[in-house]
Amino acid sequence: MRIAKGMIFAGAVSLLASSAAWAQATGPKSVTAPQAAAVPIPAAAPAPAKAACANPNALGIGRTVEIDTTGGPGFGFEHFKQLDFLRDHEVVLTFDDGPWPVNTPSVLKTLAEECTTGIFFPIGKHATYYPEILKQVAGAGHTVGSHTWSHANLNNKKLTEDQRKEEIEKGFSAVKWALGAPPSPFFRFPALQHPPEMVSYLGARNIGIFSCDLDSFDFKASKPQTVVDSVMRKVDKLGKGIILMHDFQKHTAEALPDLLHKLKAGGYKVVKMIAKAPVQTIAQYDAEILKDAKLPTLSSRPVSSVVQTISE
């Protein structure tokens, strides 16, 4: 594996720290996609064999970076400025709030047509509603993290500290239940509200935090074109960045083909971010989501939802 120069190795986290001091973190390791495939990486879900891209004009994947989330590194210049790993004209596509019928499959179809990839931050409850859709996301080789259990604003002063931790932990447990395997230790706070105690908590849990460099505000868009225009205007201004979108949103799903064409035409390259190791969920919360959502345990789920024939 070829490793880029300038990597940052560190990993300390102080439990007494406030919002800033947790942030000593490991940086991303740069690897090229074919070489990365040869390295045994603990996968969050079984990765399919890499098929050749049938689209000669596809946006594709520029490079793959592996993230060591020890100490809870933060990404996205809107909140975290320590890890500036993207090169000029590199973008990371991120999708929040799924999985959701129609819109998430539409996003998956567009990403597949462009032979490219993104990070998905599903809501725990949505994962329990539509586990099969989330399995499609992971099965297509995309990175899956978590975005809390119920999309609560963790800066809401009415929530106790235990309730905030529960939102984080149950989110990961729900995604693990849906996938049948733990997802990546990648987390995004709802509404990008980052309470310092929870930032420290994620650091202690070795979970990476994803803000963004540019917010599409796609949930406010009245039509798909607005999403395309908003993202392109912002990315052209910044020259690169982690882009926040929502696979939950119809306009985003509809805008994505045109947006990816425009990114390709603008010379942008997509960076795939993968975790060095999957998240370690906590047994107490794994049990709580089964109870809260009245879910079957993994062993009592129908065989068809656990075992899928890939080829015969």
Could you list the residues that contact Zn ion (CB under 5 A)? 96-97, 190
Q: How far is the CB of 184 from Zn ion (least distance, A)?
A: 17
Using Cβ positions, the residue closest to Zn ion within the complex turns out to be: 96
Q: Which is nearer to Zn ion, 66 or 97 (CB)?
A: 97
Q: How far is the CB of 78 from Zn ion (least distance, A)?
A: 14
Angle formed by the axes of helices 131-139 and 103-113, to 10°?
10
For residue 283, give the amino acid letter: A
Q: Is 236 helix (H, G, I), strand (E, B) or coil?
A: helix
Q: Count the neighbouring beta carbons within 10 Å of the beta carbon of residue 97.
A: 23
Q: Which is nearer to Zn ion, 121 or 268 (CB)?
A: 121
Q: How far is the CB of 82 from Zn ion (least distance, A)?
A: 24
Q: Which is nearer to Zn ion, 111 or 154 (CB)?
A: 154
Give the whole-angstrom CA distance, residue 255 versus residue 13: 40
- Residue 26 DSSP code: P
User: What residues are paired with 215 via a beta bridge?
Assistant: 244
Q: Tell me which residue of 77, 273, 111 sits closest to 186, measured CA to CA.
A: 273
Q: Tell me which residue of 242, 152, 144 sits closest to 187, measured CA to CA.
A: 144
Give the whole-angstrom CA distance, residue 147 versus residue 187: 6
Are 105 and 140 within 8 A, CB to CB?
no
Are 89 and 239 within 8 A, CB to CB?
yes
Q: How far is the CB of 190 from Zn ion (least distance, A)?
A: 5
Q: Which is nearer to Zn ion, 191 or 287 (CB)?
A: 191
Q: Which is nearer to Zn ion, 97 or 286 (CB)?
A: 97
Q: Which is nearer to Zn ion, 131 or 190 (CB)?
A: 190
Which phi and psi angles does 105 have, rounded to 5°? Answer: -60, -35
Q: How far is the CB of 142 from Zn ion (least distance, A)?
A: 17
Structure tokens given for 303? 């065989």
Are 138 and 150 within 8 A, CB to CB?
no
Q: How far is the CB of 251 from Zn ion (least distance, A)?
A: 15
Q: Which is nearer to Zn ion, 97 or 169 (CB)?
A: 97
Q: Which is nearer to Zn ion, 97 or 218 (CB)?
A: 97
The number of angstroms, rounded, from the C-alpha of 82 to the middle of its chain's C-alpha atoms is: 19
Q: How far is the CB of 147 from Zn ion (least distance, A)?
A: 5
Structure tokens given for 28? 């991303």
Q: How far is the CB of 303 from Zn ion (least distance, A)?
A: 33
